[in-house]
Every structure is written in C-alpha cells, then in structure tokens.
Amino acid sequence: MTITSFPAGFIWGAATSAYQIEGAPREDGRGESIWDRFSHTPGKTQGGATGDVACDHYHRWEEDFGLLTAMGADAYRFSIAWPRILPNGRGQVNQAGLDFYSRQVDALLDRGITPYVTLYHWDLPVALDDAGGWSARATAEAFAEYAGVVAQALGDRVKHWITINEPWCVSMLSYQSGEHAPGHQSWSEALAASHHALLAHGLAEPEIRRHSPGAQVGITLNFTASVPASDSPADRDAARAFDGYFNRWFLDPVYGRGYPSDMVAAYMGAGFLPDGLSFVQPGDMDIIAAPTDFLGVNYYTREVVAAGASPGEWQPVRLDTPRTEMGWEIYPEGLYKLLLRLYSAYDLPKIYITENGVSYMDGPGTDRKVHDLRRIDYLRQHLAACQRAIAAGVPLVGYFQWSLMDNFEWGRGYAQRFGAVYVNYETQKRTPKDSFFWYRDVIARNGLQD
C-alpha cells in the first residue's frame, strides 16, 4: 500500500455556515436576516424549507464540536451571523450574540481546533436589505463596522479570518438570477452588488488587522471550471466569457487587475451597465486589492459551455456524464487546473480549499450505518487533485470539507445532504457516515492511501 502524504502541517478541517446549521432565529436578541425573510416567502425554497431549526446547532454546538474532535480536525471553518451581533445591521451591538461565538471559540481552542471565522456567509440583516442591500454602497461600510466589532471581541483568539464567502453568490445568484436571497433579478443591481461585496472585503481588512494582531486575512471565492464544448473559436470565446463572468470578475480585482476589460465591454454592450462603472469610486480598486494572506477556494464542479446567440455569450451544454444530487458534474481535473492557474497567473501567498464536497442523499441502512461510498470516491479524487497541485508547487496549505454535517442547503432546503455526518431532522440525531471515518483516517495519516 502506498500512502500519498500531504506536507507536514497541512491543515485538515470541515466547514459550516451559521444560517445553514444554527436555527434559533429569534433567540438572545438575534435580528432578522434576508434568509429568514426569503425562506418564509412562499415558493422561494424547495418544500418551503427554512432555517428556523436546521441542525439546532445553536443548542447542540458542544455535541457538534465532539464530532470535530472525533474527526481529528485541525481546524473548523464556521460563520458568524451578522444579525446576532448587530440586529439592525449597524449601531446597537448585541452582547449575547458576541458571547455565543466567544464561547465557541474558547471551546474550539480547548479542543486544540483552530477557528477559521467567516464574517459573511449570506445572512444580511434585513434592515440593510431595506436600505438597498448589497446594491447600496452603505452596506459595504456597514460590513466594515461589523467586522471591527467582531474582531474586537474575538480577535485576541481568532487569527484566521475570511471576510466574504463567495461574492459571485452574494451578487449574481442573489441579485441577477434571484435564486438566493433577496431574490432580485437585475443585472445592473447584481454588478453594483458585486462591487460592494468586494469593497466590503477591502474595507473590512484593516478593521480586522487593527483588532486581531498577527491575523491571517483572506476572502473566499467560488470557482467553476469553464470548459469549451468544442475546439471551435466560438466555443472557446464562450468559455472565456463564462470564466470572466464567474471567476475573473471577482479574482482579478482582488489581485490588483481591476475588472476584466472584456467583461466590462460585454456588460456595457448588453446594456447591463447603464451608468457604466459609476459605482466604482476613486480609490476603491486599491482598497479591494489590499494584500491578503491567503485565498480561500471553493470548488465543486465545471460548466461546459458553447457559443451563445451573439459573440461573447455562452450557453451551458449538458453532457451525459455522472452527476451528483445537485446536478453538478464531478470534475476533479478542474480543481487541479484551477490551482495551477491561480499559482502561475496570480501572485498568491497561500491557498486554502475552504469548501469542497458533494451532496448524495444516502441515509442509514438496516445496519444504521450510512454507506456513502460515492462521497468517499468524490473526496478521494479531489484530494488527489490537491496532492498533485502541491507536488507541482502550489502553496495549498489546507482543506476544509463541505460540510461537517447535513444542513439547510439554501434554495434546495433539506433535499440535499453534503454532510460527513447524517442529520435526522426529526430527532436531531447525528450519525457519522462512512466518509466521516474515511476522512478521519486521511487526517490521521496526513494523506491518501491506495
């Protein structure tokens, strides 16, 4: 048997986010978020699912931390619910909210688990949404204030910070396609939102550093590999446009390149930017490009694209390939290529995979165990891709599996299960799946085994 080792000190972890697991939306002074409002609006989530209870992690977090210990995790990535800290988005601080997370941080450190804190994983306070949400510049300023409040309370113990999770989802999925809260459908709002989410990241960074000496600060972007349906120049152009829309629009500004000019031209041509880039104020691009300590990469799948109706447009092509429960194609090669590209084309000090994982509905069998062998296969292939990338020189220093446990999968409600741990939502019983034990062994030996 061969063991493919990861570098010494590689960080192994699991990830969650507040709204997806906590429940307790009204407890201890928490304000309302856009996901409370959206999920309670008929027709917005599958089966009308809400995060009202979710995994009841608000009351069961100590039990859940026991799972992290059993997994052998070095680190845990979780998010802070902004409306628990500032119920109205700005102004009055809710001490009970800070205390809740402060206790968690202490408990993690006691267990020898390093907290990786995400400040925004999509639960915007509704008061800010009422004032324009992410399409309003003031939301970026409010985020920086909120980041300062949290860093002041936790920054003595938390040394790894992720500002914004997936600005593509914060803007495009939420303001253009409308699949996520607040469910708007406007290109111009979405493009303004993308800028304000990136600006929020840049404005928050100095706030975090001020209150958390020696902190490592980064942003998490989600990437979808963009693959042309054929070698034709038109399909290759389409793949470049999809890459621009999904990946480069966010990556380039963070690394000092500004918004990609081909995409600005395409958006202008399509009439999506009626006032041009008027939301960009002098100095913004420097704020967004302030040096970070790491890039968080979320990777799940690829999109195969063909030329659309006019030049620069693309349309997805659905190949007859195996897909996960989400309908996403399994494409580990995309992760390998992405990591190499990030390394060779951008000046990155460090990379973490902050999310990678898969949804399959496997549940307990007659032996009460969960034999999620397809998840093991998915994880093995993606970890092998990571390993190859490291061997090629990519400074990949950690990997967080999405997710520690099954949870509220946004618009898809409870009809998707990404967890290493199965959650029975009627009893709240947790059952570690076979992949949990497999991942535990990977962590223990710091590597894959044939």
Please give the residue ranges that form the binding site for ligand FCB (CB under 6 A): 17, 20, 165-166, 169, 222, 298, 355, 402, 409-410, 418
| Residue from 22, 166, 205, 207 carrying the catalytic annotation | 166
Is residue 166 annotated as a catalytic residue, yes or no? yes
Tokens of 370: 């969960």
C-alpha 300/C-alpha 346 separation (Å) is 21
CA distance between the termini of the chain: 6
User: Beta-carbon neighbour count of residue 3 at 10 Å?
Assistant: 11
Distances (CA, A) of 108 to 17, 207, 352: 16, 24, 20
Give yes or no: 207 in active site.
no
Q: Choosing from 32, 207, 303, 355, which is the catalytic residue?
A: 355
Q: Give 145 or 179: the residue with its C-beta nearer to ligand FCB.
A: 179
Q: Shortest distance, CB of residue 297 to ligand FCB, whole angstroms? A: 12
CB of 119 to ligand FCB, least distance (A): 14
Report whether 292 contacts 210 (CB < 8 A).
Answer: no
CB of 402 to ligand FCB, least distance (A): 5
Q: Least Å distance between CB 359 and ligand FCB?
A: 7
C-alpha angle 398-23-360 in degrees, rounded to nearest 5: 55
**Which phi and psi (to 5°) does residue 280 adopt?**
-90, 115
Report the C-alpha gap between 443 and 13 in whole angstroms.
Answer: 9
> Distance between CA atoms of 250 and 196, rounded to whole angstroms?
11
Query: CA 422, 427, 428, 433: dihedral to nearest 10 degrees?
Result: -20
Which is nearer to ligand FCB, 135 or 165 (by Cβ)? 165
Output 139 or 224, the one with its CB closest to ligand FCB: 224
Give one word for 413, left, alpha or beta, with left for phi > 0 and alpha for psi -120 to 50.
left
Question: In the complex, what is the shortest distance from the CB of residue 300 to ligand FCB, in angstroms, rounded to a whole number?
Answer: 7
Closest to ligand FCB by CB, 212 or 222:
222
Nearer Cβ to ligand FCB (49/169): 169
Show which residues are catalytic: 166, 355
